[in-house]
Amino acid sequence: GKICGTFAMLERGEPTYDKIYDGHWLTGDDGRDYIAIHRVAISVSSRGSGLSGKIIDFAVSFAKEKGRKSLRIDTHRGNAVMRRMLEKNGFEYCGIIYLESGDERIAYEKVLN
C-alpha cells in the first residue's frame, strides 16, 4: 500500500522533440507517432526491484495499443543510472534536444515491433 514509483506519458507528442541535434530519431524526425515518457522516479526503497522495467513494459503495451511506432524519452547528460536503465530496456541514443528553457537533454528512442 505505498507508492514505489511514478512516471508520466504524453500521447500527443513532445514539442521539444521536434528538433534534435547531433543525431536523428530512429523513426524519423517528422510526425508524432510516438509516446513520450517523462518524470520517471523510483523510491529509494524500491530501487533494484525491477520496477523501472515494469514501467517501460507498461509504456510499450500502452503505445502499441494506441498504434504508435515508438517510445521517446530524454534525460540529463550526467544521469548515468537513467541512461543505463534506458539502454538495458532497449532504448537507443538518438541525439540532443533542448527544453524550452534552453537546457540540454540526451534523447533516446525505443522502436516498437
Average pLDDT, the chain: 95
Whether the per-residue pLDDT at 55 is higher than 80: the answer is: yes
Answer with the residue of higher pLDDT: 110 or 29: 110
Q: DSSP class of residue 19?
A: S
* Banded pLDDT at 30 (limits 50, 70, 90): confident
Which residues are CB-neighbours of 29 under 8 A, at least 6 positions away?
20
Q: What is the pLDDT of residue 32?
A: 84
Contacts of 51 (CB under 8 A, 6+ apart): 4, 5, 42
Query: Is the per-residue pLDDT at 48 higher than 90?
Result: no
* Residues 58-69, mean pLDDT to the nearest whole number: 97
pTM, whole model, 2 decimals? 0.93
